A and B are shown apart, each in its own frame.
Chain A
Amino acid sequence: MDAVLEADGLGKRYGNRWALRDCTFSLPEGQVAALVGPNGAGKSTLLHLAVGLLRPDDGSVRVLGQQPYDNVAVLPDLGFVAQDTPLYRDFTAAELVTMGGKLNRARWDASVARNRLAQLGIAPHQRVGTLSGGQRAQVALALALSKRPRLLLLDEPVASLDPLARHEFLQALMGSVAETGTTVLLSSHLLSDLERVCDHLVLLETAKVRLTGSVDDLLGTHRQLIGARHDGSAIPGVAAVIRESHTDRQSTLLVRVDGWVDETRWTSTEVGLEDLILGYLGDHRRQGSHAAWGVTA
């Protein structure tokens, strides 16, 4: 399968600070990928680089083989729902659909948006500013899908929605993706939601890619091991210890395996996507700022 989105050593700098650095991954066609990471890890920066809003300072990003920055040729293939699902609030939903038609002469299919919005019961002649957050997100999604994009990028589309609206949004998204085979990159904090819908993962932490790959592969190669207190020596069959916690007599390890683990010494269990992500994110101890606050550690 060809990569729809490919980043190679991608970096973006704001002043002296790298918002994203040395970012390398590729996203195969037809995948629904989760872009995960703590606040400030560079998720939005990565998405903005991918849709061509930002110019890379280092490395490259390619969408369907093309550089997206300042490149109109790539735009018809891209659908983007930005953070907080921005819309012209004084426009009605019908006017936004008209706007889409005027700005996307190439491949715009207004019937996609009309059908979706009709199904959701959104009034065509009501200003979108007066709609609920969930409805606005649906309008934004409908607009993005009407472009019939090959790559759909969404920047925390469900962050501000209540659980029901979130569920409906993701359901709508998955439904249409299943129909069209669109590749999706979706950033979110809501790990449990992602676990249900994603089959690919890009995990960012402090401007770097921490983990990337298909969810099945990642879950297949990670295990939680529980056994007698471990002294830190190499364990046969374990490629890397991601996270460890110890009591006096017992150790719990999150590991990446590359072979057979002695199950007489260790109880090996599978891990879920959420635990895996938290395991990777939690292994860096935060640097305290006690001195700056004038308190003792």
Chain B
Amino acid sequence: MIWLVWRQHRKQALFAVAGLLALAAYIIPTGLGMRSTYTDLGLPACVSSMGDGQFIPSSFTNACNETIRSFIGRYTAVANVSVLLIFLPLLVGIFWGAPLVAREVEHGTHRLVWTQGVSRRQWAMAKFGLVGAGSLIVAVVYGFGVSWWMAPLNRVGVTRFETFKFDVGGIAPVGYTVFALALGIAAGTIFRKVMPAMAAVLVVFIPVRVLVAGLARPRFATPVELAIPVDQPNPNLNAARGDWIQSMAVKSADGQTLMDNASTACNPDAADCGGMSGALNTTLYQPGDRFWWFQGIETGLYVVVAAALIWIALRGLRRIA
């Protein structure tokens, strides 16, 4: 079976290797460049001056702030290219998953291969397993590649939680890729035709991703609330910790929202604080150290769904003749 799977999918494997090499050819030079700029600008000292406390310490200089701004400004465009990698799992689902069973049925070759000496379950295990392993390697390599690449930006305060950065770094790509592949395989066993299976991947994968990223992910854990009375100086959260700020609001003492997406300060000389006495500047955020916890939840979610889809595919396979 291993020989057959390799023979059938070697072209795809070659494409994957070529794709990863192209990615490496982009991220390794830019990543190294980013690192040398990081050192040249003296950012290590700046970053260590930020410390790891909840707030940016008073010792943090304006000069450092300016340097960090210019560093981020210089590499933002380069880093934004990583957005393209969001589509990689989708491609795996469409071009590896969907045809896996559907093309065999379309060409009738399932009747050839299932009447040799191996059961269709063995066939399915070998095909799903090896193509799955290949996809996994692609996902792990680019996920951790992107994590390595982005590390200098993350250290100076570009949070890993940012949408489009969370989605292409760490282990999350593994979840998306496994899900897309399983979705393609399952759609192929249900529709038994390549084109409808590909369309199904497209139509299901994108909404699921958008809904999970937009609605579920912010609720994986209860955010931490920071509340500072408006008549006190509003400290900045330490960007080096990579906190994910979800919302800000000015709230009255009894918890009512006075202003959304805003913070305010009152002149300490003004009587009654301009009518805002007792109000609080509130910030809801997910602490940066929850990153891997969030990645784990999201990946696990997709892996569980993928397992269910594979189970559906194995069931469906039994009915194909």
Contact = CB atoms under 8 A, between A and B. Distances in A.
Q: Are chains A and B native binding partners rather than an unrelated pairing? A: yes
Interface of A: 48, 51-55, 70, 72, 75-76, 78-80, 82-84, 86-89, 91, 95, 98-100, 102-106, 108, 140, 143, 147
Nearest to B11: A90
Interface in B298-321: 318, 320-321
A48 B109 contact: no
Nearest to B119: A72
Contacts of B108: 82-84, 86
Nearest 6 A/B pairs, CB to CB: A86-B108, A103-B116, A82-B111, A104-B117, A53-B321, A80-B115
Nearest to B116: A103
B117 to A, nearest CB: 4
B127 to A, nearest CB: 13
A55 to B, nearest CB: 8
Contact of A106 (B3, B117, B321): B117
A73 to B, nearest CB: 10
A12 to B, nearest CB: 9
A70 B121 CA distance: 9
A98 B3 contact: yes
A147 B114 CA distance: 14
A259 to B, nearest CB: 45
Interface in B102-117: 107-109, 111-117
B4 interface: yes
B8 A88 contact: yes
Nearest to A91: B7
A201 B3 CA distance: 40
A86 B116 contact: no
Nearest to A149: B115
Contacts of A75: 115-119
B216 interface: no
Given A48-B321, A70-B318, A99 B3 contact: yes
Nearest to B117: A104
Contacts of B109: 86-88
Interface string B120-131: 111000000000
B11 to A, nearest CB: 9
Given A48-B321, A102-B1, A76 B117 contact: yes
Contact of A80 (B7, B111, B119): B111
Contact of A72 (B3, B107, B111, B118): B118
A53 B111 contact: yes
A48 B111 CA distance: 9
B107 A86 contact: yes
Contacts of B3: 98-99, 102
Contacts of A52: 115
B123 to A, nearest CB: 9
B266 to A, nearest CB: 74
Given A53-B111, A70-B120, A72-B119, 14 more contacts: A48-B321, A53-B114, A53-B115, A55-B318, A70-B121, A72-B122, A82-B112, A86-B108, A88-B8, A88-B109, A103-B4, A103-B113, A103-B117, A140-B112
Contacts of B111: 48, 51, 53, 80, 82, 86
A166 to B, nearest CB: 20
B114 A70 contact: no
B4 A99 contact: yes
Contacts of B1: 102-103
A274 to B, nearest CB: 29
Nearest to A103: B116
Interface string B78-97: 00000000000000000000
Contacts of A106: 117
Nearest to A44: B321
15 contacts: A51-B111, A53-B111, A53-B321, A70-B120, A72-B118, A72-B122, A82-B111, A83-B108, A86-B108, A99-B4, A99-B7, A102-B1, A103-B118, A106-B117, A147-B117
